[in-house]
Structure 1
């Protein structure tokens, strides 16, 4: 049977079950433990046999209205601590973390309705950091030896001990990143005081009858490249007989496409011996139910989509991905979970939408595999996910890893924990069409024993996506072979021409060739409205008055990234010593903008080079807490220079300038756009005088990039800073891309021979200091419509017009509400723009609760425009 579907993928709807007075009411129903009472064992003791009995007085415990949270996350939710206070200045550095050196207890009472024939087959865990003892109704269900590892899921039959009123107690043990399989942050930020200890994922209870079904596993096959083709879908599960007699099971399956009325049905009968299992493989089922003598015993449902992902090593031993048969250049960034591992559906949805607005197609998860909701959101929005294990702690404590300060090499127990972790994550992720592959190593590859276990667990879960040895080129296990990914930096500031300097490739580290699994210029400076939320006045002064000082809101104090020395050296030399905090932040945004734009443009430009740039993961997308670097939008979701530079550099259709070769590239990242395009090139000096103007037509090709214009001759007369504008138009004269650069008469000189793992030194900086003496420009700001006070959401047009004969440089627009607070999230069609003399430009913006647009820039007057008219 074949299901015909014209789209590249589809999803099935999955129903959710609401908990009633009794937590469960019918077979197949799954209920999440909805809330917890938590307390330290220093206060309540360690006797879980007592604490897990109904009726324990918990008046002195902390009530947590959440199904999952680490200890710190729980205590913030309970109001014991305030995030704003913890994150302000260096308050977290002074925090007393000794309270987390002892175990804590999570406790919850709940109601069931036990009766003959009902089985509460599982109490199921999905992630407890990093180990725990679990008791139900005074009896031990599991101890910390089996419930160990942040990603281990366990299932326990509690039928025999289930009562009308029940109590569950979980004692969580302190996590040590060096010795436990936790969720660490390496040098991304200070460690959380609790090291992430706690019930960070849901704990569930499921009711079944005599036969229970394991989670659905989905495999798909289709002709490639997928277009209007058929797809073969297999849904697999394991049915378990929980009784001491043979079971005759009727399996019923259905599949339904969202928005379609047609339903496909399947029926099958199987026999399962006592206490045994049977692996079932029906076709085309979005829901499966198992019945005994006409009564439902269990049912399972899952959302899935049709797509096929493959990867291969090209002639240069670089990995290239293919999605549905099409070459797929990975363009994305590295995601960070919240420091206290708190999950917020709305916040991640906003983050994912910001990624799509950036032009990204992939998000990498280094060890922060998060919750099922992440994959459901990315499925819906069409954002690929590249998950994997983390670096720099117990996960990579191999004999050959010499980078660890503490190396607790794996024991037999550790291999078991890691293997079970892999299977649990694979089962959770494998049906999601957003999943691109799995990195079973990060900085280092797993040894052969671990790699075989990972591989076998993934295959047992019917994993169809690529399995990649690591994010680096250091080595690989026999079963997987070379990764084809490079991880050689940079992580700190490098100039725009760095990315285009690709030869000889063996010495050019992170330049735009191959697949860069984590790399970037270390930028992401928040704007002043965000900075004031987490920095004191003294901290703000340090930014520009003490450029070499170690800063608590960078990385850890022992990290190479604890200060902004490299970044600030470039800013002082290239743009001139700051004269104030405001001046520093403006220059920082200018430097951030050019850094990210050049990186994304270079990888897009060289997609079809002799050694193609097959992918990049920018380091990083976001921060675990308020940070001064490594982000494309800040902790509060406010976009700044790094964001708009990256967005300009990752447009679907684009024209980009190569700083090194002085070439213009025509970029087309779509699968279907083609036809005639016009490229207009304008060069003016800082006084608005025209140096060069030209216009040419070209044909664009889908999924392709090529150099089309050489500007070497046009730029020969340049002796000072000039502005370059590249405009791409379609055959109807609609602008597809408008892109402005500021260029010095020379580029930054890189000292490749003395490169370190995190940056390449610059021996001579490009000189942009004459931008400090630009003549003032007069710019008007109007809106295409005014908002009514009861309709403050939706898109708004903002029109900028330069009434001067000189360029208006680096105009920043910020949307605020009636109280002057940033509107977040906010989506601008473009921002941080530079206007030509007498140029008019309309931008679109979307944000809820907007009242004013704030306007600043290098050589314009500040203004605030009311949106109410």
Structure 2
């Protein structure tokens, strides 16, 4: 008896620890899946999900993934991103839906002890599914809708021996659409609640399986008898805050849904701990009840705030929200969040919306985002790299375009880290949903205006997406759709029910180019243009005061192009006879957007390498000019601009700062330069020198230094003056138009606009190349070679310090591309991040560029550098 009493406390402790561990059990089912087309499968789901049923001849499947991804990974189809390969893959519109209807099977070991509940979670299936486990049907009601998560309690369906088999039959979209060349094909893809771009768009060819598959994560979760779901954190930050300062308190409002699976009531406590204090709420749940429970508001003293990129730190807090009953944790959710508050006001001067964070107005410099990968091959690492590129471009907002999807939590986690505000569109588009007459569309406007067919499914999916994403500090705005509102009943549900009930803290835009966002005084669609423009237009021609889409070109360099253009298609893409007609079918297939005659001032391209190199000069100038032109008129003409677009999910040849393979082109660095937090710049129309201050601080004693260089490298200082800058402002300093006009007339010139602090540290370094009086870069075409000196040293894990020196006797070393390459293959190592690129060095100048590559120690790497008049050289990393 004494022995029993001795061991009883230990036994209870072990049971408690066991319960605690089970409450944390959550793992993915992402390996060892197998699949087979339904046409090749004789058995039904009851038989297939029986562990004894043989899977002889079944193909390894990629989950998460699509049918097309699995076929590609098994060598059954060619890479649809290369050349014309996409034309070799059968389209679902021609084959019928059954061709891409597949069974997916996965075996896993799991069992449940007394009091444990085991849940099967799907974060996304496209488009509908029948689910079986161990010979029994799991979903008694239909699972339909690409954006709807589903959770099933499978505790009673688990095999007694712990060896289970899951079988999922995935059906494609009910309406796959005719990919007839229209935006979204014939538009009928929009009859479902799913991606619209898969039937083709002006930046992508059709995705042949329409992204059918278990496209997002599948995981098992174990809890006690109460399941904690959908936690919600709201942070209130009143007043106007200053980054880095001691802060007045902020308020946290925390709630969650609790689901009792028992047939009797259960009592317990919902709680979390933050800043050394525990906040709790006692709860009694009725039998089989799911209830939303709010904890008492918590006042957080001196909070560390979350700020958008360029304005302050992105501090993130974490809490462990738990439900405990009878001394054990039944379930818990770990939540990361930022303390910040989004505000919006109408700027009556610009006649557009103005966005503020923590009481401080933010001039929006944004980019439109399509999707990371057209075949939905998402990864945390790829998301991180892409959002890091956006951070490096000095942007502060990303808009998720409505023809794609609600981005994944991993995307938002990266935006939280890097300070990217996000506008999340719901999945509508003017093209498919009936805004315009369109001869490519199957149905008339009246019919398309009521897409999708199932409004209830759309609303249910929207509510679920709001629950999934609402805790991310980066999420700033919801948008009803791309260039069109949802149908009236859906719009009413979003505005009056879903968002007020489930979020209520963010601005809802009814559609992306709405007058509510930006007064459309010019008529038309309220956005664009999308092609190459004269730089002067960005500075001199007023456009929509908060332009949701305006963009330009973005072709990569020759190294980028060779990744997906077959050798016979590695040519100049257009006729160089003044017509600029696209003459190569592969360039055309990959949606090449015309550069017009923009390359001619640099000299007619001789081959593809020369064409792509000169395109980079245009790319850099286009995006620097775009963002500078908008910034020059901030708070007067504009409250923000969102570039169309910053990336492509396919090997497209338009509107991108980096290619599909995560290799940046000069667009990224032109935009990075023009978007600097403190930025000195030159107005090519009026010859003005201006300074932008995108901080909340007054800037005292900022030195402006403007220097002219001729083509031989001779310098002439045009001004050097101390300046004072108001917070979040633009200031005109002086005009140098006549002097610059005279200096550049014969053969063009270089213009250096720099800002320095009182320690003579360079804060902004902006280097322009200006044409001659005829608009040609005649001097560039006659420049002498300029050999530069370079040393590369590994300065930290995954980081190289590259020191560049242009000797005093040289002319300017112009427009040098830096690459990190594998010494064995000669291929670029990607993704690599550069503190600057396409750099120019004046005579006697020294620059240090930081090169970052995560797997540097796992590769034999070297630096390659070469430019317009600088021979290519390879630098060993010391």
| TM-score interval for Structure 1 and Structure 2 normalised by the shorter chain | 0.7 to 0.9
Report the counterpart of residue 261 of structure 2 in structure 1. 242
1:666: how far off? 0.5
| Matched residue SS, 2:490 | helix
Among 484, 490, 501, the residue aligned to 1:444: 484
Among 847, 851, 867, the residue aligned to 1:845: 851
After TM superposition, list the pairs within 5 Å mapping 1:59-458 onto structure 2.
59-64=56-61, 67-78=63-74, 80=76, 85-97=79-91, 101-102=97-98, 103-120=101-118, 122-142=119-139, 146-164=142-160, 165-175=163-173, 176=176, 177-185=189-197, 186-227=201-242, 228-245=247-264, 247-256=265-274, 262-283=275-296, 286-315=319-348, 316-335=350-369, 336-366=371-401, 367-392=404-429, 397-398=433-434, 405-407=441-443, 408-410=448-450, 414-455=454-495, 456-458=497-499
Task: Please list the CA deviations of residues 240-281 of structure 1 after superposition, one character each: whole Å capped at 9, or x if unmatched.
Answer: 333333x1421141224xxxxx53213332223333333210
Report the counterpart of residue 707 of structure 2 in structure 1. 682
| Matched residue SS, 1:356 | helix
Contact 2:383-2:410 within 8 A present in 1 as well: no
Larger mean CA deviation between 854-863 and 589-598 belongs to 854-863
Task: Please list the CA deviations of residues 664-695 of structure 1 after superposition, one character each: whole Å capped at 9, or x if unmatched.
Answer: 21112223462211111122443445566221
Say whether residues 1:527 and 2:557 are aligned partners.
yes
**TM norm structure 1:** 0.84
Report the counterpart of residue 53 of structure 1 in structure 2. 50
1:400: how far off? 6.7
Contact 2:77-2:89 within 8 A present in 1 as well: no
Report the counterpart of residue 800 of structure 1 in structure 2. 805
- Unaligned runs of 5+ residues in structure 1 are 1-21, 257-261, 476-480, 747-765
Contact 1:25-1:113 within 8 A present in 2 as well: no
Contact 2:572-2:611 within 8 A present in 1 as well: no
1:712: how far off? 2.1
Report the counterpart of residue 654 of structure 2 in structure 1. 629
Distance 2:451 2:818 in 1: 56
| Matched residue SS, 2:573 | helix
Contact 1:780-1:803 within 8 A present in 2 as well: no
Say whether residues 1:571 and 2:604 are aligned partners.
no
1:341: how far off? 0.3
After TM superposition, list the pairs within 5 Å mapping 1:856-867 onto structure 2.
856-867=866-877
1:493: how far off? 0.9
Distance 1:365 1:552 in 2: 30
Give the paired residue count. 790
1:391: how far off? 4.6
Report the counterpart of residue 626 of structure 2 in structure 1. 599
1:233: how far off? 0.7
Report the counterpart of residue 812 of structure 1 in structure 2. 817
Distance 2:71 2:347 in 1: 50
1:704: how far off? 1.8
Q: What root-mean-square deviation, in Å, do the aligned CA atoms of Structure 1 and Structure 2 show?
A: 3.0
Distance 1:460 1:30 in 2: 29
Distance 2:103 2:167 in 1: 7
1:422: how far off? 0.8
Contact 1:251-1:291 within 8 A present in 2 as well: yes
CA distance 1:796–1:487, shift in 2 (3 Å): farther
Distance 1:140 1:410 in 2: 34
Distance 2:518 2:117 in 1: 45
Task: Please list the CA deviations of residues 282-316 of structure 1 after superposition, one character each: whole Å capped at 9, or x if unmatched.
Answer: 14593333344444433333222211112222114
Distance 2:716 2:112 in 1: 84
Report the counterpart of residue 508 of structure 2 in structure 1. 467
CA distance 1:679–1:24, shift in 2 (3 Å): same
Contact 1:728-1:737 within 8 A present in 2 as well: yes
1:644: how far off? 1.4
Distance 1:288 1:642 in 2: 44
1:230: how far off? 0.9
1:488: how far off? 1.8
Distance 2:291 2:815 in 1: 65
Task: Please list the CA deviations of residues 767-820 of structure 1 after superposition, one character each: whole Å capped at 9, or x if unmatched.
Answer: 22414532313232221x5459xx884231321305446433323232323122
CA distance 1:225–1:61, shift in 2 (3 Å): farther
Distance 2:732 2:56 in 1: 70
Contact 2:725-2:731 within 8 A present in 1 as well: no
1:166: how far off? 3.1
| Matched residue SS, 2:657 | coil
| Matched residue SS, 1:353 | helix
Say whether residues 1:44 and 2:41 are aligned partners.
yes
Distance 1:169 1:851 in 2: 45
Task: Please list the CA deviations of residues 437-456 of structure 1 after superposition, one character each: whole Å capped at 9, or x if unmatched.
Answer: 11121121223211122232
Contact 1:178-1:393 within 8 A present in 2 as well: no
Task: Please list the CA deviations of residues 20-68 of structure 1 after superposition, one character each: whole Å capped at 9, or x if unmatched.
Answer: xx9997246433333322211111147223223332222322223x541
**TM norm structure 2:** 0.83
Distance 1:553 1:670 in 2: 45
CA distance 1:414–1:538, shift in 2 (3 Å): same
Among 488, 503, 526, the residue aligned to 2:527: 488
1:616: how far off? 2.2
CA distance 1:672–1:403, shift in 2 (3 Å): farther
Task: Please list the CA deviations of residues 468-522 of structure 1 after superposition, one character each: whole Å capped at 9, or x if unmatched.
Answer: 112113x7xxxxx5566885212111121121123xx4xx4xxxx522222211x
Report the counterpart of residue 719 of structure 1 in structure 2. 745
Report the counterpart of residue 833 of structure 2 in structure 1. 827
Task: Please list the CA deviations of residues 498-552 of structure 1 after superposition, one character each: whole Å capped at 9, or x if unmatched.
Answer: 21123xx4xx4xxxx522222211x222122222221122211143667522666
Among 607, 612, 619, the residue aligned to 1:585: 612
Distance 2:649 2:450 in 1: 28
Report the counterpart of residue 500 of structure 1 in structure 2. 539
